Amino acid sequence: MELHLDSESTIPAYVQIRNQLREQIMRGNLPVSARLPPERELARSLGVSRTTVVSAYDELKAEGLIKGHVGRGTTVVGGATWTAAQPIAWPAHFSNLGRRLIRHAQPSELLTLNRLSAQPDVISLALGLPDPTLLPLERLQRAWEAVVGRVGANVVGACSVQGTPAVREVIAARMRERGAAVGPEGVIVVNGSQHGLDILLRLLAEPGDTVLVEAPTYFGALQSFLAQGVRLVGVPVDEEGMDVQRVEFLLARYRPRFIYTVPTYQNPTGATMSLERRERLLALAQRYQVPIVEDDPFGDLHFDEPPPPPIKALDRHGHVLYLSTFSKNLSPGLRVGWLAAPDPLIERVALLNRVTELHPSTIGQHLVVEFARQGWLEEQIELARSVYRERRQAMDAALRRQRLSEMRWMVPGGGMFLWLHLPRQVDAQDLLVETGQQGVVFLPGSLMYPASGPRNVCRLNFSMPRQEAIEQGIAVIGAGLRRLLRRPAETADEPVVANPIV
Amino acid sequence: MELHLDSESTIPAYVQIRNQLREQIMRGNLPVSARLPPERELARSLGVSRTTVVSAYDELKAEGLIKGHVGRGTTVVGGATWTAAQPIAWPAHFSNLGRRLIRHAQPSELLTLNRLSAQPDVISLALGLPDPTLLPLERLQRAWEAVVGRVGANVVGACSVQGTPAVREVIAARMRERGAAVGPEGVIVVNGSQHGLDILLRLLAEPGDTVLVEAPTYFGALQSFLAQGVRLVGVPVDEEGMDVQRVEFLLARYRPRFIYTVPTYQNPTGATMSLERRERLLALAQRYQVPIVEDDPFGDLHFDEPPPPPIKALDRHGHVLYLSTFSKNLSPGLRVGWLAAPDPLIERVALLNRVTELHPSTIGQHLVVEFARQGWLEEQIELARSVYRERRQAMDAALRRQRLSEMRWMVPGGGMFLWLHLPRQVDAQDLLVETGQQGVVFLPGSLMYPASGPRNVCRLNFSMPRQEAIEQGIAVIGAGLRRLLRRPAETADEPVVANPIV
């Protein structure tokens, strides 16, 4: 029988002794009839008082695990009362949301991708984040010094549930520059725009309600919506974004709780909704009194001319709930996203955030403000534009060099993604397995459709990989594709039809 | 007619012109029949090309707002199609959660408190946060430097949805010190333990389900639970914490989804559940297969002997879902809380967090790790213990000096709160209004009961105010109480009964 006392522990010695004896009895190391050492002897060997051991034995006696016999010392009598305890059968304890998570949040494509991404030196075209090497460490150091100098320990202190006034000023000013009449009181900070999506869904929809989304759309939104049990109706996307012509019919038929759109450098297609469509969509939202959730993480990252103004800039009656973030133009670990919305929404979001998270992370907000004050935010965005512009060009050129006439893509005007159509008979998931073996991964596009979508599309990220990695990655994709095309197709009789360019 | 073009704007000039004209037509500044300037003239005065003005006019014509007449120029014909657009009637658009928020998350006591707290130089005994002046700024600076030196731009980069491995190591090691057999894989980081509560509620309960809580209990948990539409059943609290004797009956009768408890230096009573009760509660949880949510933000902050081990340390079959945070022993703006739970829970929480927030705030995690590595975390906790111990003593002494025999309280062994019973005929809300006028605020205890609770209790915080502020605050409370007691009581016939000491 071995016992170890931790004299540093906050657990009283008698409890440590009791717990360890109990454990050994339960495990069968101390079987029924085993004799425990006399109290005085155990106390001496452990360097504790006899009272300590007596207390431990007394409790084990009260639990029915050991018994003292006059003249014969103390023996184990059984652990029956304890073996009755069973682990909880968790699946039966989860809510509907808890159960839906397993069904919707772990598609096989993602598991394959995770497995392949875990290789060393993998070239990933699968993510959608800024290149961290663009952020100068020296500015991160100086920004922190300046913030601690200005706000002291408040840099890690509590903040208002709406976010700090300073960061809301920065956000509102940037939105006004893009034409949206938004003041700091119309902005609420959230932990990234993904959090904003969750909040809006909780506040506006019940399970079973319908939401209109683009098809394809942002994968993370799809997963969030499906996990909450919302019914999704998809609107096709072409070069000018969501096909707004179809929206009126869908609004009338499904009466959705809101329309979710990423109008600018859409994730995943890179398409940008034309100004005309923005206005028509807004007019429809007004006519049918349906809110538009405009998710705009990429609007800053334009490579050629600036994009049309956000739908929020055209909104005069508060139909647009605008989400954006500093995750794509600065850095994702800041967790500073925001919602700009009419007062009744801001009020509810503040209440929900207070009861669910108290307040957003303070530190990131202070860093964003410092970057904005120093002019570093705009410099950072300008740098990202020029670097990602080059990488977009490199990806386009590398794809052209493949001379695979059945591959089609549109060169996006900004953002982080290029949407590639493979020959129709190719499943992007098969291609991923093929290229993954060569150390190149991307996101199969079938993940991004609300219902079943085409299997021959993929989302390629050009913001994170360097130019050489992009070139190598596209070469591997081209070679993999050629190998797949040479294989006898399982659907050999199906006609090969060129896909529309998206 | 005045038009202002912003040449820096990303909105095309013709859209700016069109929007401003549309606005003026809608507002009636340009009434029906008003004549617009000829295109060439307006173009010249604005310094744009004629085509720009033509485009703007064309769109307004298409909208039916203006009309061109050969030889007579362009006139306003009406805004009928646009006045049809109305703001959304938001209340009808909110989900059940959105509606419940207004009902439950804004009690009048809180609004009164907010109003009174907004005064300058107010002495607040109302909050429950660490004193920020205890945190050495020089260490915040050095910690940041060290972290940026070690992880570079990753300090603001994305992290795993479970949190960084390093911070989960720190957390697991600290839990093991308190006797809980937890490894880093059994820990998931959340944005403060309030976020953890929200997650557990979403994963384990549907609206209408029952949860067992202490009465009184943590106000933020109550609000979160009520907003989600959960039915709450309260278990009274005495000097040894939750009255566990009553729990079995309630488990059998209500079949709650879980038991929520703050067993150590409870918020708001300061009471600590005895080891015996912890074990009995766990045994009941095992027998009825009901999870215990153990919320333990204050366990580190013991002033006399250490508290009994967390219930999690006694848990051998995974019935305890343990929440804690660095918000109370370090700083709340870090937003680093955690859940330690069995694997099936950790897996669902990770999935839910991925779809709702992507990942927790990275920065705070890195700072916590640095503080732990340098030994500063333990020093900070030691400092907090000694400072708050003195303040607790000061509050106790100040209350004694009031010599108001009808006031009763228990001196807590740690944490941040002292729970004060006023004479039975006094409503703490009335006392708050009285002392608020003298610049002293606290939290009326009636807020903290799941159903209606006593009106004569208040929660006094001693971690944030300095000793002088505590003494002054208690003097003001004593004086206010005396004034209230001299007033003719509205319930004068009711016998004055001494309250049990909690």
DSSP string, A202-270: HHH--TT-EEEEEES--HHHHHHHHHTT-EEEEEEEETTEE-GGGHHHHHHHH--SEEEE--SS-TTT-
Cα separation of A50 and A45, whole Å?
11
- The better pLDDT of the pair A35, B497 is held by A35
Answer yes or no: do B153 and A159 touch at CB < 8 A. Answer: no
Answer yes or no: do A156 and B19 touch at CB < 8 A. Answer: no
Answer yes or no: do A153 and B145 touch at CB < 8 A. Answer: no
| The predicted structure's pLDDT at residue A266 | 97
Q: Is the pLDDT of residue B359 over 70?
A: yes
The answer to whether A80 contacts chain B (CB < 8 Å) is no
Which of A102, A140, A223 is nearest residue B148 as measured by Cβ atoms?
A: A140
pLDDT band at A501 (very low <50, low <70, confident <90, very high): very low
Cα separation of A497 and A426, whole Å?
12
Three-state DSSP class for residue A276: helix
Indicate the range of A58-72, B93-107, B344-358, B364-378 predicted with least confidence: A58-72
Chain A nearest C-alpha distance from B272 (Å): 15
The answer to whether A96 contacts chain B (CB < 8 Å) is yes
Percent of chain B with pLDDT over 70: 94
Give the mean model confidence (pLDDT) for residues A135-157: 95
Instruction: Kindly list the residues from chain A whose CB atom is less than 8 angstroms away from the CB atom of residue B205.
Output: 95
Instruction: Kindly list the residues from chain A whose CB atom is less than 8 angstroms away from the CB atom of residue B94.
Output: 203-204, 348
Other C-beta atoms within 10 Å of A495: how many?
A: 7
Indicate the range of A101-105, A254-258, B330-334, B463-467 predicted with least confidence: A101-105
Q: Is the pLDDT of residue A27 over 80?
A: no
The answer to whether B147 contacts chain A (CB < 8 Å) is no
Q: Is the pLDDT of residue A490 over 80?
A: no
The b-or-e profile of A271-291 (16+ CB within 10 A means b, else e) is bbbbbebbbbbbbbbbebbbb
Instruction: Kindly list the residues from chain A whose CB atom is less than 8 angstroms away from the CB atom of residue B159.
Output: 333
pLDDT band at B80 (very low <50, low <70, confident <90, very high): very low
Write the pLDDT tens digit of every residue in B180-202.
Answer: 999 999 999 999 999 999 999 99
Answer yes or no: do A11 and B313 touch at CB < 8 A. Answer: yes
Q: Are A434 and A483 in contact (CB under 8 A)?
A: yes
Rounded to 5, what percent of chain A is helix, strand, coil?
A: 50, 15, 40
Answer yes or no: do B152 and A137 touch at CB < 8 A. Answer: yes
Q: Are B310 and B178 in contact (CB under 8 A)?
A: yes
| Cα-Cα-Cα-Cα dihedral sign, residues B143, B149, B150, B155 | positive
pLDDT band at A205 (very low <50, low <70, confident <90, very high): very high
Q: Is the pLDDT of residue A499 over 50?
A: no
Site from A103, A200, A356 to mutate, B interface, most B CB atoms within 10 angstroms:
A356
Site from B90, B102, B321 to mutate, A interface, most A CB atoms within 10 angstroms:
B90
The answer to whether A178 contacts chain B (CB < 8 Å) is yes
Write the pLDDT tens digit of every residue in A443-473.
Answer: 999 999 998 889 999 999 999 999 999 999 9
| The predicted structure's pLDDT at residue B498 | 35
Contacts of A58 (CB under 8 A, 6+ apart): none
Answer yes or no: do A361 and B106 touch at CB < 8 A. Answer: no
State chain A's mean pLDDT as an integer: 91
Amino acid occupying residue B70: V
Site from A160, A162, A222, A355 to mutate, B interface, most B CB atoms within 10 angstroms:
A355
| The predicted structure's pLDDT at residue A240 | 94
Chain B nearest C-alpha distance from A485 (Å): 36
Size of interface A-B (CB pairs under 8 A): 313
Cα separation of B27 and B79, whole Å?
9
Cα separation of B497 and A343, whole Å?
47
Q: Could you say which residues from 195 to 254 on chain A have a Cβ atom under 8 Å away from some Cβ of chain B?
A: 195, 198, 202-206, 220, 223-224, 227
Instruction: Kindly list the residues from chain B whose CB atom is less than 8 angstroms away from the CB atom of residue A317.
Output: 85-88
| The predicted structure's pLDDT at residue A475 | 97
Q: Are B180 and B186 in contact (CB under 8 A)?
A: no
Nearest CA among B192, B175, B172 for reference residue B129: B192
Instruction: Kindly list the residues from chain B whose CB atom is less than 8 angstroms away from the CB atom of residue A9.
Output: 177-179
| The predicted structure's pLDDT at residue B78 | 66
Cα separation of B292 and B334, whole Å?
26
Write the pLDDT tens digit of every residue in A164-201.
Answer: 999 999 999 999 998 898 999 999 999 999 999 999 99
Amino acid occupying residue A340: A
| The predicted structure's pLDDT at residue B79 | 56
| The predicted structure's pLDDT at residue A189 | 97
How far is residue B308 CA from its own chain's centroid? 27
Answer yes or no: do A198 and B357 touch at CB < 8 A. Answer: yes
Which of B93, B179, B332 is nearest residue A9 as measured by Cβ atoms?
A: B179
Answer yes or no: do B204 and A105 touch at CB < 8 A. Answer: no
Q: Is the pLDDT of residue A83 over 70?
A: no
What's the maximum distance between 2 C-alpha atoms anywhere in chain B?
Answer: 97
The answer to whether B289 contacts chain A (CB < 8 Å) is yes
| Cα-Cα-Cα-Cα dihedral sign, residues B392, B311, B338, B179 | positive
Answer yes or no: do B132 and A148 touch at CB < 8 A. Answer: no
| The predicted structure's pLDDT at residue A10 | 67
Instruction: Kindly list the residues from chain B whose CB atom is less than 8 angstroms away from the CB atom of residue A351.
Output: 101-102, 105-106, 227
Q: Is the pLDDT of residue B26 over 80?
A: no
The answer to whether B351 contacts chain A (CB < 8 Å) is yes
pLDDT band at B383 (very low <50, low <70, confident <90, very high): very high
List strands edge to edge, sheet with A241-242. Answer: A187-190, A337-340, A320-325, A292-295, A258-261, A210-215, A231-238, A241-242
Which of B10, B289, B333 is nearest residue A309 as measured by Cβ atoms?
A: B10
Give the mean model confidence (pLDDT) for residues A69-81: 74
Chain B nearest C-alpha distance from A409 (Å): 27
Count CA within 13 A, CB hemisphere, residue A137.
13
Indicate the range of A122-136, A481-495, B464-478 predicted with least confidence: A481-495
Q: Could you say which residues from 158 to 177 on chain B have a Cβ atom under 8 Å away from some Cβ of chain A?
A: 158-159, 177
The answer to whether B358 contacts chain A (CB < 8 Å) is yes
Answer yes or no: do B86 and A317 touch at CB < 8 A. Answer: yes
pLDDT band at B27 (very low <50, low <70, confident <90, very high): low
| The predicted structure's pLDDT at residue B499 | 33
How far is residue A471 CA from its own chain's centroid? 28
Write the pLDDT tens digit of every residue in B453-486.
Answer: 899 999 999 999 999 999 999 999 999 999 999 9
Answer yes or no: do A15 and B308 touch at CB < 8 A. Answer: yes
Answer yes or no: do B179 and A11 touch at CB < 8 A. Answer: yes
Answer yes or no: do B342 and A90 touch at CB < 8 A. Answer: yes
The answer to whether A289 contacts chain B (CB < 8 Å) is yes
| The predicted structure's pLDDT at residue A414 | 98
Using CA coordinates, name the residue in chain B closest to A107. B351
The answer to whether A107 contacts chain B (CB < 8 Å) is no
The answer to whether A62 contacts chain B (CB < 8 Å) is no
Answer yes or no: do B132 and A141 touch at CB < 8 A. Answer: no
Q: CA–CA distance from B457 to each of A103, A334, B427, B472 (Å)?
A: 47, 41, 8, 20
Write the pLDDT tens digit of every residue in A310-350.
Answer: 999 999 899 999 999 999 999 999 999 999 999 999 999 99
Residue A298: both structure tokens together: 């990429």
Write the pLDDT tens digit of every residue in B114-161.
Answer: 888 888 899 999 999 999 999 999 999 999 999 999 999 999 999 999
Nearest CA among A160, A139, A177, A188 for reference residue A370: A139
Q: Is the pLDDT of residue B5 over 80?
A: yes
The answer to whether B11 contacts chain A (CB < 8 Å) is yes
Q: Could you say which residues from 247 to 286 on chain B have a Cβ atom under 8 Å away from some Cβ of chain A?
A: 257, 275, 283, 286
Instruction: Kindly list the residues from chain A whose CB atom is less than 8 angstroms away from the CB atom of residue B325.
Output: none
Amino acid occupying residue A237: V
| The predicted structure's pLDDT at residue A34 | 87
Write the pLDDT tens digit of every residue in B245-292.
Answer: 999 999 999 999 999 999 999 999 999 999 999 999 999 999 999 999
CA angle B332, B334, B337 (to 5 degrees): 80
Which of A94, A148, A351 is nearest residue B101 as measured by Cβ atoms?
A: A351
The answer to whether A26 contacts chain B (CB < 8 Å) is yes
The answer to whether B44 contacts chain A (CB < 8 Å) is no
Q: Is the pLDDT of residue B501 over 80?
A: no
Which of B88, B137, B355 is nearest residue A224 as measured by Cβ atoms?
A: B355
Answer yes or no: do A318 and B88 touch at CB < 8 A. Answer: yes
Answer yes or no: do A140 and B153 touch at CB < 8 A. Answer: yes
Chain A nearest C-alpha distance from B487 (Å): 37
Write the pLDDT tens digit of every residue in A234-291.
Answer: 999 999 999 999 999 999 999 999 999 999 999 999 999 999 999 999 999 999 999 9
Answer yes or no: do A95 and B194 touch at CB < 8 A. Answer: no
